[in-house]
Every structure is written in C-alpha cells, then in structure tokens.
Amino acid sequence: MLPPGSQGRIVSRWVDAFNARDLEAMLADLAADVDFRPLRLSGIAASYRGQDGVREWFAQLTELRHEHRIALHEARELAEGRVFAAGSLSLAGVSDLGPFWALYRFDGELIVAAAQYLTDPDMVEPLGLIR
C-alpha cells in the first residue's frame, strides 16, 4: 500500500512511467542533474549523471532488450526527503523474478538521486541501511 505523501506518489508515478517505457514521463520527475544508479543488469553501467545520462541508460535498456518491469509494493517516505521503495521484478510470463528495492532522494518535487538494488528489501532496515 502506497502512502498518501506526495513524494511517495512521485516514486509510484516514476515506476509506472518506467514500466510503460515512457522516457519523457520518467524525465519529468527527475532533476536535471540527477544521480541515477540503476539495477546492475548485463550491459548497464553502475551510474548515470543527469537527464542525458538517464537517456543513455534508457537507450541501452532498449538496445539490450531488457524488458523487466517493477511491481511496486511499498513506497515509504523517510526523513530528509527520501523515499524507500520495495517490490519485485517481472518479465512477460514470469511474475516474480526476485526482490527489488530502491532509495530515492528528493529536492522539492524532483528526484535528485535514485539507487536501485536486487536484494531482499526485508534486510535493509536490520542492516541499518535506512533510518
């Protein structure tokens, strides 16, 4: 269940745009100098800087035919303009490939940093990775 806060809704909207492969809608929620660290998939770099970097990442996803989708189960607002998101990845015909979590940092209504991980989100809090 997603929280009523605006930043949680923005993360949900960003994930929906990603799942629809709508680059322009994704960029609308990102700061011009966003620090983006996507899932570490084959052929994808560890980080991308700015909206041009996100465009480069998106082009690589398309070229490599990475067609995964994110099923978002939670987008929880934290202190200091951060949102913790958790869910799972899916492909056509395979509904649950594994867990996914991400941490988004905001400045106002724009995402200024995003880091995505392919690990169990239930381990994030016990390890002290978010507060």
Q: What is the pLDDT of residues 40-89, one digit of tens each?
A: 888 888 999 999 999 999 999 999 888 889 999 999 999 999 999 999 99
Which residues is 94 bridged to in the sheet? 91
Q: What is the residue type of 67?
A: E
Please state, in angstroms and as integers, the Cα–Cα distance from residue 36 to each residue in 56, 83, 99, 126, following that order: 11, 14, 19, 25
pLDDT in tens, 1-15: 444 459 999 999 999
Among residues 31, 41, 54, 57, the alpha carbon closest in space to that of 113 is found at 31
More confident residue, 123 or 12: 12
CATH topology of domain 6-123: Nuclear Transport Factor 2; Chain: A, (3.10.450)
Calculate the average pLDDT of the chain. 88
